[in-house]
A = this chain, B = another copy of it.
Amino acid sequence: MEPQKKKGAKSMTVAEEVRAKGRRAKEASYVLGGLSTEVKDRALAAMAAALEARAGEILAANAQDMAAGEAAGLTRALLDRLFLNEQRIREMAEGLRALLALPDPIGEVTGMWRRPNGLLIGRMRVPLGVVGIIYEARPNVTVDAAGLCLKTGNAVLLRGGSEAIHSNTAITRVIAAAAEAEGIPAGAIQLIETTDREAVNVMLKMRDYLDLLIPRGGAGLIRTVVENATVPVIETGVGNCHVYVDSDASPEMATAIVVNAKTQRPGVCNAMETLLVHRDIAPSWLPAVSAALTAQGVELRGCPRSRALVPAMKEATEEDWGTEYLDLVLAVKVVDGLEEAIAHINTYGTKHSEAIVTNNYTHARRFLQQVDAAAVYVNASTRFTDGYQYGFGAEIGISTQKLHARGPMGLEALTTTKFIVYGDGQVRS
């Protein structure tokens, strides 16, 4: 009986901690929704300055996480996500400063019209309230999420991965203090500091305090959140992305795009995981691109027709077509043409980012129309699916679902609307 009792008592404590932070966040959200853009922007600038001024303590905390991560045998891709240096801290601060230049969406009336009975109906952008973020190794998410939520008048409740707990605690301490000094209510930016997994379960069901949950991380985390949350969720980030090289692609362009999409940063969701090659261009092009990829350390796993052209490839299994490697591994398949490529992508893809390399107008148009994904590219790398690259000034995540927001999410994804109706006594007949 004794251990079970203890476990119960501990769960209560975790639940109490999480719910207390949820309540503080909800209270803060009422104040945040009414703050002027000037106050919010001053706080963002102060948070950016504080990150740079106190970089030393953040890097010291990150070094603790990196040492623990190396000892625990994290993969190269995971360690890359976890790692911070002066430059990455500067990038986080610049991300906050970029928000200053962006228009505050809150209070915008996106339309107003008069009905025949004289009612004047308008649609106004308002904050969501409290946004919960459940994420894994990347500590920069802490800053991105806090900045975007503050700019949009939302309180944020952060739950990072245990591997990054020291980094996230240090970052949150620095930015929350800077924000409070500028008049932002305590409770606007909070981190769940326990690494107990029970905290996630509490967040998933906390409908009274959370208006939205955004999971950012691997497929397992996202599945857990989507299947168990009663709080509304935006599904993000799992990216089993493809590049299809069509028969009349420019071979040089195709090689540049494929090498970039696979190797420029393999541990992120918009990296390519499967290469599809038209059978007509495969004999002349696949050996060359394979050599270029292998030179970059990429392990290739091919279908039988690919291996006939490049015998050094390992054999791809059915499982490879559905795998997001997040590493220097690439599945390769020779296809008969556009239709097979589109069918393969719509079957195995995760509706994230998909690219065609072609010089055929009709094929480009059909690919754009028929591929079911958040972002579809002609003659460009899938690596561009990113809020900064799209010009949103920042990014809270990349939605792979179809509701509310799809693709890179900037400020507008963190708002909702309210109908405001002005009458002079109208009743319905």
By a CB distance below 8 angstroms, the chain B residues around A390 are 115, 121, 419
Q: Which of A377, A391, A419 has the most CB of B within 10 A?
A: A419
Known contacts A375-B421, A380-B423, A421-B376; is A401 also within 8 Å of B119 by CB?
Answer: no
When each residue 404-420 of chain A gets 1 if its CB lies under 8 Å from chain B and 0 otherwise, what string results? 10111000000011111
- Contact segment of A3-11, A12-20, A227-235: A227-235
| Interface 9-mer from A41-49, A84-92, A366-374 | A366-374
Which of A129, A385, A416: most chain B Cβ within 10 A? Answer: A416
Task: Assess whether B422 is in contact with A378, with CB atoms less than 8 Å apart.
Answer: yes
| Given A376-B421, A378-B423, A380-B119, also A402-B232 (CB < 8 A) | yes
Residues A404 and B406 in contact in the complex (CB < 8 Å), given A115-B391, A425-B379:
no
The stretch of A51-59, A72-80, A253-261, A273-281 in contact with B is A253-261
What CA separation (Å) do A264 and B427 show in the bound complex? 9
In-complex Cβ contact of A383 among B128, B376, B416, B428 (8 A): B428
Contact A403 B250 (CB under 8 A): no
Nearest-CB residue, chain B, relative to A373 = B418
Residues on the B chain within 8 Å of A257, using CB: 425, 427
- Find out whether the CB atom of A406 lies under 8 angstroms from the CB atom of B417: yes
Residues of chain B lying within 8 A (CB to CB) of residue A385: 419
Check A419/B376 contact, CB under 8 A, given A384-B428, A427-B260: yes
Please classify how large the interface on chain A is, using the bins under 10, 10 to 19, 20 to 34, 35 or more: 35 or more
A426 adjacent to B373 (CB under 8 Å): no
Cα distance, A232 to B264, chains bound together (Å): 34
A297 to B39, CA, bound (A): 52
- Contact yes or no, A227 B226, CB < 8 A: no
Cβ-based interface call for A27 (8 A): no
Q: Could you tell me the distance between the alpha carbons of A371 and B374 in the complex, rounded to whole angstroms? A: 34
CB pair A428–B379 under 8 Å, yes or no, is: no
Query: How many Å lie between the Cα of A386 and that of B41 in the bound state?
Result: 37
| Inter-subunit contact B379/A424 (CB<8 Å) | yes
Query: With the chains together, A300 CA to B264 CA distance in Å?
Result: 69
Q: In the complex, what distance in Å separates the CA atom of A422 from the CA atom of B357?
A: 11
| Residue of B with least CB distance to A113 | B391
Q: How far is the CA of A373 from the CA of B418 in the complex (A)?
A: 7
Instruction: Check A212–B402 contact: CB distance below 8 A.
Output: yes
- Whose C-beta in chain B lies nearest to the C-beta of A254? B425
Query: Quick one: given A232-B401, A376-B420, A390-B121, are A426 and B369 in contact (CB under 8 Å)?
Result: no
- Report the minimum CB–CB distance from A242 to chain B (whole Å): 15
Report yes or no: B368 in contact with A403, Cβ–Cβ below 8 A.
no
Asked whether A284 is an interface residue with its Cβ less than 8 Å from the other chain, the reply is no
Q: A115-B391, A380-B426, A407-B419 are in contact. List 18 more A-B contacts (CB 8 A).
A: A34-B369, A128-B403, A129-B402, A232-B401, A232-B403, A234-B403, A253-B425, A256-B425, A264-B427, A372-B418, A374-B419, A377-B423, A378-B423, A380-B425, A381-B428, A384-B426, A389-B428, A407-B417
Cβ contacts A to B, 13 pairs, < 8 Å: A119-B384, A121-B391, A261-B427, A375-B421, A376-B418, A376-B421, A378-B423, A379-B425, A380-B426, A381-B428, A383-B427, A384-B426, A389-B428
